[in-house]
Structure 1
Amino acid sequence: MALSGKVSIEFGIKATISQWFNLFHKNLNQVQNICERIPEANVHQGDWHTIGSVKNWTFIIDGKPVKHKEKIEAIDESKKTITWSFFGEDLGQQYKVFKITMQLNGKENGSYLLKWIIEYELVNENVEPPYAYLDFLNKSSKHVDDYLVGA
């Protein structure tokens, strides 16, 4: 079994690319108020929106709280992508490397696509690839999309 890899999920969204990008780029602190699978989030060092700032998060993964730290690695406003690295606490016991990238794309027919990509390196071969995190991202994204459409 490979100890590192990538997994991804892509689906259509109803809200606009600018609504999604604005939320995750300029209003990340609001995500915990929108999504019930994120019961806690706060700034550890820096602020919510600057590359390199560190935040503490708790996600509900497979029905259990998972704590970790996160920092923004890269923001590309022209390509509408953001990459975060996650580390430490509960997550660090399973993954040496854990990065999530959000990509937003428009299609010729005027619809919008959201793609989540997880790059990971397992601490050992007894750890499963992060499929539960893809499920978390899928379900949470539907919550966020519904909120943005209603906003």
Structure 2
Amino acid sequence: MKTSDGKHKVAEEIIKDVDEEKQSVTYKVIGGDLMELYKTFRITVHIDTKGENNLVTWTVDYEKVNAGIEDPDTLMDFCLNVTKDIETHHILQQKA
């Protein structure tokens, strides 16, 4: 992944939980660059459907290795791009 500050980061992750009813998926980072900065790092993607519209909510839970580590704000561009890719996929499926 490439962060908004232009740096490339590698994250090895596993799918921790899939909740079809709540329309959410939780990933746990288990290796890579992020684990040098954070003791734990989990990302949950939740889809809330309202009529024909879908609202995507990203929740990031993390514990820093030390207080000098910045919050992972630079990952927001990555999350936004993934959301746009998912949206494009769904739009193309609806047109097919």
TM range (shorter): 0.7 to 0.9
- For 1:78 and 1:147, how far apart are their aligned partners in 2? 21
User: Which string of whole-angstrom CA distances, capped at 9 and with x for unpartnered residues, describes residues 85-136 of structure 1?
Assistant: 01322111111111000101112x5421111100010111111111111221
> How big is the shift at 1:82?
0.7
Structure 1: which 5+ residue stretches go unaligned?
1-58
> Given the alignment of the two structures, is residue 148 of structure 1 paired with residue 55 of structure 2, yes or no?
no
> What is the aligned partner in structure 2 of residue 116 from structure 1?
58
> What is the aligned partner in structure 2 of residue 64 from structure 1?
7
In structure 2, what residue type is equivalent to 1:95? Y
> What is the aligned partner in structure 1 of residue 70 from structure 2?
128
- For 2:86 and 2:49, how far apart are their aligned partners in 1? 18
- For 1:84 and 1:148, how far apart are their aligned partners in 2? 21
> What is the aligned partner in structure 2 of residue 99 from structure 1?
42
- For 1:81 and 1:143, how far apart are their aligned partners in 2? 17
- For 2:68 and 2:38, how far apart are their aligned partners in 1? 11
- For 2:45 and 2:83, how far apart are their aligned partners in 1? 11
- For 2:54 and 2:90, how far apart are their aligned partners in 1? 13
In structure 2, what residue type is equivalent to 1:137? C
Q: What is the alpha-carbon root mean square deviation over aligned residues? A: 1.5
- For 2:55 and 2:16, how far apart are their aligned partners in 1? 22
> Given the alignment of the two structures, is residue 76 of structure 1 paired with residue 76 of structure 2, yes or no?
no
Higher relative contact order (CA 8 A, sep 6+): 1
Flag the 1:79–1:86 CA change in 2: closer, same or farther, 3 A.
same
Moved over 4 A (4+): none
In structure 2, what residue type is equivalent to 1:114? V
- For 2:38 and 2:64, how far apart are their aligned partners in 1? 4
Q: Percent identity?
A: 32
